[in-house]
A and B are shown apart, each in its own frame.
Chain A
Amino acid sequence: MEIAVKKLEPVKKPDLAEIEETGQRKRSFIHKLYQDPIAWASTIWIVLVIAVAALAPLLTPYSPVSGNVAQRLLTLGSVGHVLGTDEQGRDIVTRILFGGRMTLLMGIAPVAIAAVIGCALGVAAGYFGRVVHAIIMRCLDVFYAFPALVLAIAISAAMGPGVKNTFVALPIVFIAPIARVTESAVKRIKGLEFFEAARASGAGHWMIIRHHVLGNIFRPVFAYGSTLIGISILVASSLSFLGLGVTPPTAEWGNMLGSLKDALFTQPAVAIAPGAMIFLTALSFNLLGDSIQDALDVRS
């Protein structure tokens, strides 16, 4: 037999023959984000919004919910009210600061809730056999048949306005797409050999899911979820705009626009700020989501 035979020694230095195969040290995902200027800009904005929302009471003397009607609809740059007042005489800057709390909450929390439930469903559909898969996916298809906004509006309308009801309505909208993404990630893993090896070791379902599935689906699911936050903010503020979602007098950027809508002709300028906040915040989350997707090498 002409194969060159070499007695084996414990490897102390990298084998020359194997060097060309050595995987490059994958830069950690945080490292990649660190280098992305857009990610920086978005993150700074988001942190800013979080900071001022949290510190709101300290930053302004006015109340966000009650105002002096005699001072209603003051224009931009008025004394003591940089961005003017709304139709109830409340200071707009204050309402924006406090409104940030609600908007951020409505952006992140529903996606987080939906992620937990959607992931569980997706893993179940992807991991277990055909029957479970078919049942879950068919049920999800029904929710997929509705445009997100329509579904959110329908459920909110039925349940009534209010923050608590929105916390039920919004996650329902996001569960289906998250479950789908999770399911396809799980299916991909099932085809890999380490999954087969785990089964060959005789491991039970829960052990395999815990050690081999969950860690490996995190990336695609997290990347996808981060793109949903921007959408959640837009949908939630749309609900408030329509009178569902967050109701007056609580400040929220969407419902501010809703009540200022009628003042469009008398004092249009005051309507600009809240909308601009929604826009910039949604934009930041969208950009950040894109950057996260790039950094994780996951492109939908």
Chain B
Amino acid sequence: MTRIFHRILLAIPTLFGISVVAFALVHIMPGSPVDALVPPDATADVRAQVIHSFGLDKPLPVQYGLWLLNALHGNFGISMGMRVPVNQLLGQAIENTLILAVAAAVFGFLAGTVLGIISSLNQGNWIDRFVSAIGLVGVSVPAYWFAMIMVILFSVKLGWLPTSGMYSQGQQGNVLDLLGHLIIPAISLGITSVGVTSRMVRASFIQVIQQDFVLALRAKGLERRMILWHWLRNAAPPILTVTGLELGYLLGGSILIETIFAWPGLGGLLNGAIGLRDMPVIQAGILLIGTMFVVINIFVDFANARVDPRIQRT
């Protein structure tokens, strides 16, 4: 228990830093922050209200404090583009993005692991090289271009899969429909993960295979399943770490993919906001993504500690 507590404690300065960065973004912009926070045709009353609740006439540190306080209560201001409070937009968006990101992560993890294992078992021969090439392609290809190609191939030419959106008209809540819409975006988003994960898995498995204890286990005549289990247990920590990190990067990549597929998630929200310089939304988005990344890292850390007995458990 103390470990989690300790870890969270360590994360606080980082979270603090993230909030400062998110806050500072508005002030880097040219022009008055008020203009960024309030639509140009707002009445003087609304302006005054915003200035008051965000304390824009007060010194910067005070402003930051007020912003943070508001943020912790879920008040991120009013979206310029949608004319509604930001937090209204966030709820559904986060859920949709998580669906996409998790799907991409699962794909990346599974495909990457399988490729990595195949590769490590065939070290040196053409299978290995071929698989490594796939991995390399994964990290070098621009995800959005890959997505476009997939769309051209599977949607435009072959018509197998829908081209955009989360659900077809009137199919809200239909899981099968969702899956159909999910395939291309998830694969496009996850392709980079496949690359990173497969390289990682390959290196990790090769290292484990070579370790003496595996030979010792096999000499004892241990069942294959048990060997695999021990194998996994040792290779798991770095793989877990990488997957956790990848999930974070996927949150970033989702901005691009959601744009192409008109996926109604956090990324799409941010993209629209960028076009309009809709700072409240951007700030909220950055804060959320950064925080989620930190939280994921804490989970990964914790999971590692459970799995890897070498890590101290004080």
Contacts and interface: CB of A to CB of B under 8 A. Distances in A.
Contacts of A264: 148, 151-152, 156
A230 interface: yes
A147 B249 contact: yes
A157 B152 contact: no
Nearest to A283: B140
A141 interface: yes
A96 to B, nearest CB: 14
B156 A265 contact: yes
Contact of A160 (B14, B29, B152, B289): B29
Given A147-B289, A265-B156, A242 B255 contact: yes
Interface residues of B, number: 51
Contact of A238 (B142, B151, B248, B293): B142
Given A138-B13, A278-B142, A271 B152 contact: yes
B21 interface: yes
Contacts of A149: 249, 252-253, 255-256
Nearest to B141: A279
Interface residues of A, number: 43
Interface in B282-314: 282, 286, 289-290, 293-294
A180 B211 CA distance: 30
Contact of A275 (B14, B145, B259): B145
Given A261-B148, A264-B156, A147 B248 contact: yes
A136 B18 CA distance: 16
B274 A153 contact: yes
Contact of A147 (B20, B22, B28, B251): B251
Say what secondary structure dominates the interface of chain A: helix
B140 A230 contact: yes
A160 B282 CA distance: 13
A230 B277 CA distance: 29
A57 interface: no
Contact of A242 (B136, B140, B146, B271): B271
B260 A261 contact: yes
Contacts of B20: 142
Interface in A42-96: none
A242 B274 contact: yes
Interface in A239-287: 241-244, 254, 257, 261, 264-265, 268, 271-272, 274-276, 278-279, 282-283, 286-287
7 contacts: A158-B25, A237-B142, A242-B274, A261-B260, A271-B145, A275-B145, A283-B140
Interface of B: 13-15, 17-18, 20-22, 25-26, 28-30, 136-137, 139-142, 144-146, 148-149, 151-152, 156-157, 163, 248-249, 251-253, 255-256, 259-260, 270-271, 273-275, 277, 279, 282, 286, 289-290, 293-294
